[in-house]
């Protein structure tokens, strides 16, 4: 981008002028989806302002969902929302591969807990029965897409955390424990604003909206194996509800 100075004394704050100029660049395609913006110091030089003013402009763009600030890596133009099919065989990796994106998952924490009433009902357990709880973060390319809290019954899936930690995939982790296929029994979708720790993990501006997906998966005998609450960055995903029995192309792969 060429050097451009903000207008002084025109009634519009300098940071707002910068935010509007960068938003126009994004809308016009001069800053493409996924592109890294120039460093704060470079933007300050382009617009003839200090870095604090640039920082406020970038914060406004992040609050509008146009850019994503990443600690130590810079600020990126938000990618277009990802089409994400929800069907009988919803698979994260397959959904991303279908649109040319790379999926990855990271295990944040795992612990044995007493199943709450809701978890027990979802998994067909007695309330208070032992369950394994995993916190995971899934990415599409480099962008965090969802934060999930999964419960599985014990002792059947005692080794799931280790398997997921190694593969980054629930499909591969279940396969390693003898469940080679499973289907979606139920999906419920809601929405709420992100909490500070969620916004940090998902690299969102504080208070950005989340799509909340509660799901239950069952094995081919109809036995519940997984109850999950997934928190999706609302600006980064568009759900496609597929008809019962309508499979996602390539969904048999992990």
Q: 88 and 188: one domain?
A: yes
Q: Grade residue 252 by pLDDT with cuts at 50, 70 and 90.
A: very low
The helix or strand, by DSSP H or E, that contains position 198, with its residue range, turns out to be: helix 196-202
Q: In this structure, is residue 6 part of a structural domain?
A: no
139 contacts: CB under 8 Å, gap ≥ 6: 103, 104, 105, 106, 145
Q: 51 and 161: one domain?
A: no
The span from the first CA to the last CA of the chain, in angstroms, equals: 42
Q: Which residue has the tokens 């493409």?
A: 32
pTM beyond 0.75, yes or no: yes
Q: 160 and 66: one domain?
A: no
Q: 216 and 124: one domain?
A: yes
Q: 143 and 21: one domain?
A: no
pLDDT in tens, 51-82: 999 999 999 998 888 888 887 888 999 877 88
Q: In this structure, is residue 38 part of a structural domain?
A: yes
Q: 168 and 107: one domain?
A: yes
Q: In this structure, is residue 177 part of a structural domain?
A: yes
In the listed set 77, 105, 131, which residue is the last one of a domain according to the structure? Answer: 77
Q: In this structure, is residue 252 part of a structural domain?
A: no
Lowest mean pLDDT among 27-36, 95-104, 219-228, 236-245: 236-245
**Distance between CA atoms of 119 and 111, rounded to whole angstroms?**
15
Write the CATH number for 69: 1.10.10.10
In the listed set 51, 77, 103, which residue is the last one of a domain according to the structure? Answer: 77
pLDDT at 253: 30
In the listed set 58, 77, 96, which residue is the last one of a domain according to the structure? Answer: 77
Q: Which residue has the tokens 């990796």?
A: 93
Q: 63 and 147: one domain?
A: no
Instruction: Give the range with max mean pLDDT: 24-33, 60-69, 123-132, 198-207.
Output: 123-132
Q: How many CA atoms lie within 13 A of 237 on its CB side?
A: 30
Domain extent for 153? 82-241
Q: 122 and 213: one domain?
A: yes
Q: In this structure, is residue 58 part of a structural domain?
A: yes
Q: In this structure, is residue 254 part of a structural domain?
A: no
Q: In this structure, is residue 122 part of a structural domain?
A: yes
pLDDT in tens, 155-170: 999 999 999 999 999 9
Q: 151 and 184: one domain?
A: yes
Instruction: Give the range with max mean pLDDT: 34-48, 156-170, 240-254.
Output: 156-170
- Residue 111: is its pLDDT beyond 90? yes
- Can you tell me whether residue 71 is helix, strand or coil? coil
Q: 157 and 33: one domain?
A: no
Q: 28 and 144: one domain?
A: no
- Residue 244: is its pLDDT beyond 80? no
pLDDT at 29: 83
pLDDT at 10: 67
pLDDT in tens, 181-226: 999 999 999 999 999 999 999 988 888 899 999 999 999 999 999 9
Q: In this structure, is residue 8 part of a structural domain?
A: no
Write the CATH number for 213: 3.40.1410.10
Structural domain total, the chain? 2
CA separation, residue 39 to residues 36, 49, 56 (Å): 9, 13, 14
Q: 107 and 232: one domain?
A: yes
């Amino acid at each position: 981008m060429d050097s451009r100075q903000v207008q002084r004394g025109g009634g519009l704050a300098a940071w707002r002028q910068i935010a509007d100029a960068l938003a126009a660049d994004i809308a016009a395609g001069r800053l493409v989806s996924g592109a890294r913006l120039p460093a704060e110091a470079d933007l300050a030089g382009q617009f003839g302002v200090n870095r604090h003013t640039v920082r406020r402009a970038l914060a406004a763009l992040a609050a509008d969902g146009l850019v994503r600030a990443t600690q130590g890596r810079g600020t990126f133009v938000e990618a277009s929302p990802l089409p994400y099919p929800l069907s009988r065989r919803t698979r994260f990796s397959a959904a991303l591969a279908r649109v040319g994106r790379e999926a990855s998952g990271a295990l944040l924490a795992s612990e044995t807990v007493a199943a709450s009433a809701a978890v027990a009902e979802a998994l067909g357990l007695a309330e208070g029965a032992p369950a394994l709880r995993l916190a995971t973060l899934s990415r599409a390319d480099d962008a965090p897409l969802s934060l999930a809290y999964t419960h599985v019954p014990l002792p059947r899936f005692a080794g799931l955390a280790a398997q997921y930690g190694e593969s980054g995939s629930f499909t591969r982790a279940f396969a390693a424990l003898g469940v080679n296929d499973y289907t979606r029994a139920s999906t419920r979708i809601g929405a709420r604003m992100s909490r500070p720790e969620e916004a940090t993990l998902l690299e969102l501006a504080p208070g950005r909206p989340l799509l909340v997906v509660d799901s239950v998966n069952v094995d081919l005998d109809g036995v519940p194996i997984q109850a999950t609450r997934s928190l999706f960055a609302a600006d980064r995903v568009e759900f496609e509800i597929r008809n019962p029995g309508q499979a996602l192309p390539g969904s048999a792969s992990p």
